[in-house]
Amino acid sequence: MGLHAIIKRKFKHTTDSAHNKAITPNLLNQVFTVNKPDKAWVGDITYVRVGQKWIHLAVIVDLYSRKVIGWAMDKHMKSVLACNTLKMALSSLSHPKDVMVHGDRGSQYCSKDYQRLITNHQLKCSMSGKGNCYDNAVCESFFHTLKTELVYQRNYENREQARQSLFWYLEAYYNRVRRHSSIGYMSSENLALKCAG
């Protein structure tokens, strides 16, 4: 029938928590269901193989709609990657205030630049407990889906090829077409239309 199994790949650790930067409390506390958009966002960073190298993809997901509202990719995993992702989320949604933004304890999310963005835009920063992937389970689940449905099925030869592929998956498919069990098997776009109507 032309079927084949998708093999689970080896986990690659991305969090650099060996730093002396300030840590914020876990305000989210594994409550992944919210009753309105822009109440809580979750963010994280993963690796995507391009040729013999890696690129880094950062995302922010709205917990209400499961929509990827911000994303950025780069060849490094510095704080600017997390900052650019947050800036995209803010600009795409007219800079909402008082949103809880949850991430891990990585140096990117603890950096002065990222924390300045949080403060300047009147957001609330939340961080996972040390080494606890379950505190950011929605992002972990999203990355698993992304890699199973897209990344592991491709062999990217260069960054531009990877960027175009990820753009299509995130913007054209995942946010607009793919159905999510957590929101009643609707797409993020259909949920938004339902709320607007």
Cα distance between residue 8 and residue 21, in whole Å: 34
Q: What angle do CA 60, 145, 35 make, to 5 degrees?
A: 50
Q: Give the residue with greater pLDDT, 56 vs 21.
A: 56
Q: What percent of the chain stands above pLDDT 70?
A: 89
Whole-model pTM: value is 0.88
- Computed over every residue of the chain, the mean pLDDT equals 90
- pLDDT score, position 197: 65
pLDDT one-digit tens code per residue, 17-40:
555 678 999 999 999 999 999 999
Q: Please check the confidence at residue 147 and state whether its pLDDT lies above 60.
A: yes
Segment 117-139 shows an average pLDDT of 94
